[in-house]
Chain A
């Protein structure tokens, strides 16, 4: 703690050094812009800055990545957010007619937050997160990433750790950028199985009149059964507590069965989640009205393991979302991209903090030098730190977007010919 005190991320000069020397402005630019030279995707894009003392500056826009960097270094915000592409430059907002200033494009974004999982996790609560509850996020990514690719055909998905207790998904496919609010609402409706938030009830409204699960959910159910066993029953041991066990039984629509299960739990002295679950399964299988109960058992698996989305974030084009590589003001951790292929290996507690990164810089450049060369470009300083693999990930992602743009230009060119 003593060594880190020098680089407390709440100190303005620490953040300023991070922005000057480490923040990957150029990769962020290419990711948003899909091209080397600035397009409307960048120049008409809203940026919002949060300054110390909760000052919030909206409707900033920039011509180039360098402009953005200059402004960030001048304002030295605690964090900043990325908004939609408007029909005019956001900074010119006051000089155009209101009807000429409308959000027109925006990455499709999703937000998963551990607080929505509070009723079903035992290791932490509220803002805390550990390697164990990251397993819920892992399970969510494992469901959403392939589903979005397969069902909607989107290819350019960027997962970003939110710096504390959640994960964001940014989808940059052309069609996704163009989605209207109504279409965003539709995709959220399609993706939502468990209603989170204060109105959450345990009924899942996913069954069609045929009473069977729709195909996409049938397919994920098999994987989620595994998650249910390893995560809910074993690791979290959720139903060990009497409240959680009682909550589990609320999903069973047959009061007779519920009473039987309760008795069996006492008689067989079931204390662990796994023992309780096995007993429940046995009782259900021995009963007659199996169709309804079978459905209820499937719904239980979905309820405890299916991704819980914060729907409001996704529904509106003009929602602002924290930019990747910002520093979380509470934890000091950088909001780094996450490789969905290796999401199991990701450890939120191992994500670099600003303090750690600045110390790494010190070990390669003497601190005295960095003071004097404050205004020089440090394009690749991040390469010398543990930020590198994360910036590389963003760069690879941005390259695939630029490649797509290049191919589109070529197709258009040949058609004009």
Chain B
């Protein structure tokens, strides 16, 4: 992140990190999670699921900020994020 003035406590603030889980066979390929992820780290995979849709996959799992937006916009209960274990942050 770029700052025009570096906050005094920027060293102390930890940006949260998440791990995304995808329950592929529930996905119906609407693409909402892909379109609205603030970090743009999701994309359609080339795989097909049981129903013939392309579920999303993670492009870069190191920059998920665990905002849960993919989880709450998904109409299918097919994707969610959990906090990454501490050693994975930073």
A and B assemble together: no
Q: Which residues of A pack against B, CB within 8 Å?
A: none
